[in-house]
Structure 1
Amino acid sequence: MSSSQPRPATEVVVIMGASSGIGKETALRYAHRRARLALAARSEETLRQVAAECRDAGAVDVVVQGTDIADADQVQRLFDMAIARYGRVDVVVQCAAITTFGRFEDVPVEVFDGVIRTNLLGAANVARSALNHFQQQQSGHLVLIGSLLGVTAVPYQSAYVASKFALCGLVRSLRQENRQVPGVKVHGIYPGPVDTGVYATASNFYGRTPRVPPTAVSPSTIVEAIVRATDRQTSSERQVGWMNRPAIMAYRLLPSLYDAMVGPFLRAVAFTDEPTEASNGNAFEAQPASHTAR
């Protein structure tokens, strides 16, 4: 909220990708703050389970709506529903994202394009609906979850890297455009590896099974950064994860060494020796999150 406007006693928070991982943990954290929640993801059945947990955790009210953020009309319908129910939206957190593993030329065109649609165009759809509403009410926090891989490139996730590099630029542009808009704040949160089920549900054309890297942090670490951002009076961007800054320094200051080492490093820590068949994973439809890839 702007410094001239008091924070609402009961916040209204819209969360994309709320069915699992960072999105689910974010929903539970705001539930503990007794917020009103509108939860979105592709799987409405899983969302209902999360909604029940949020009510038990203290949320004043929870509503869910199956939403594919790659569809701008679905995103706007979600916002229309939340505003009709609660009268306003105070915080929007965009956590929904997908990835695919494999060499660039081995990833099918439709899978590559699907990652871009969800991670970049989907985030843009969310930002558009959120900012249109925030600018009318002259208050609101938009949080876009990017990645360390939006500022450092790695092999075997080219679609994800491309989408997150673009998202990082989008965040900066939105911050610039909204500097003079009263009360409207834009935040970029950039995690390193996070211990979630994304490794198990991702599409995979690499031939080996991905796993949660030992460098991963817990989702709660990212949620702490999200909540701190929405408690700020200014827009912000933040890298989150103990390995982020060393990785960025190596990427920028020692590019040749970084490029020589990052492939062997990922092959050692990000994949098991277990072979796996090519799979579309959750590229086209939601799948239950699990940690079986660990």
Structure 2
Amino acid sequence: MKYYSGKVVWITGASSGIGEALTNELAKHGARLILSARRKEELERVKGNCPIATQANIRILPLDLSQSDTLKLSVEAAIQMFGQVDLLINNGGISQRSLAKETLLEVDRKVMEVDYFGTIGVTKYLVPHLLSRKAGHIITISSVMGKIGTPYRSGYAAAKHALHGFFDSLRAELWKESKDIHVTIVCPGWIRTNITMHAVTGDGSTLNKMDGSTNTGMPPEIFARKVLKAIARKKEEVYIGGFKEIFAVYLKRFLPRTFSKIIRKAQVR
């Protein structure tokens, strides 16, 4: 895809799963990459697995989205690495698996801090740079949980819903200043990653197991190819996943009462 050749793409949550798959695919398309996540050694591994000829154009920038006081400096460091950032892919985040009544408030705050405040923090600090260049593309990996809510995901769904409100508003605001700054929200369904392994439970501990739906989900490599095509077409919102979860989004939109009846009985964990 010519859209990515030579472009500087900053990916958060690049140490595994969707972020790793996007890194591999973008490297093949000639993008210059900035990889961010908490674990530097995993970022180095991801870089090392890219084609050798592309590794000179890959930079490592450790980032913890929960540390809001470091985000401004991280954005400045990212810009300095190649002198610009053309695309920001907000992919970093954590998931949650627990009933709302059994989830400590501080756990909800933790999920919101990483998935919402960390994401919009990076974005807010980068926006002035994009406006100065009158061009850019902000992509946020949300979830179908940003469009619906199911049991055991109240905190996660809340954070993802919040992202939609923020980025829909931001898109409208940026359009008034430059029609060449684009905002894309991506809603994955079940993707075969380790996200549920690291999901937080009601007391803040890690789930440490894979759920069946994730284990049989779409391979991240296929997801990456699909989402990069959608981004290149500058789509505003895109749903990528299996039939069941994408159908749920449309059922919620057009037949909300029917959706509610079904989701009350659904066996989801």
- Pairs aligned (count): 262
Structure 2 unaligned segments of length 5 or more: list them: none
CA contact (8 A) 2:135 2:181 kept: yes
Aligned partners of 1:28 and 1:203: how far apart in 2?
28
Aligned partners of 2:267 and 2:62: how far apart in 1?
34
Aligned partners of 2:5 and 2:16: how far apart in 1?
27
Please say if 1:149 is aligned against 2:150. no
How many Å apart are 1:208 and its aligned residue?
10
Aligned partners of 2:129 and 2:3: how far apart in 1?
17
Find 1:107's aligned residue among 99, 103, 122: 103
Aligned partners of 2:78 and 2:208: how far apart in 1?
42
User: Larger % of helix: which?
Assistant: 2
Q: Cα gap change, 1:170/1:222 in structure 2, threshold over 3 Å: closer, same or farther?
A: farther
CA contact (8 A) 2:189 2:246 kept: no
Residue equivalent to 1:187: 184
How many Å apart are 1:248 and its aligned residue?
1.9
CA contact (8 A) 1:196 1:212 kept: no
Q: Cα gap change, 1:82/1:253 in structure 2, threshold over 3 Å: closer, same or farther?
A: closer
Q: What is the DSSP-based 3-state SS (H/G/I as helix, E as strand, rest coil) of the residue aligned with 1:189?
A: strand
Aligned partners of 2:231 and 2:253: how far apart in 1?
30
Structure 1 unaligned segments of length 5 or more: list them: 1-5, 271-294
How many Å apart are 1:202 and its aligned residue?
1.1
User: Larger % of strand: which?
Assistant: 1
How many Å apart are 1:263 and its aligned residue?
4.6
CA contact (8 A) 1:32 1:57 kept: no
* Post-superposition CA distance 1:196-228 (Å, at most 9, x none): 101112123499955140762222333224322
Match for 2:190: what amino acid?
Answer: P
How many Å apart are 1:50 and its aligned residue?
1.0
Aligned partners of 1:52 and 1:188: how far apart in 2?
29
Residue equivalent to 2:249: 248
TM-score (norm 1): 0.81
How many Å apart are 1:106 and its aligned residue?
1.0
CA contact (8 A) 2:15 2:39 kept: yes
Aligned partners of 1:60 and 1:223: how far apart in 2?
22
Please say if 1:128 is aligned against 2:124. yes
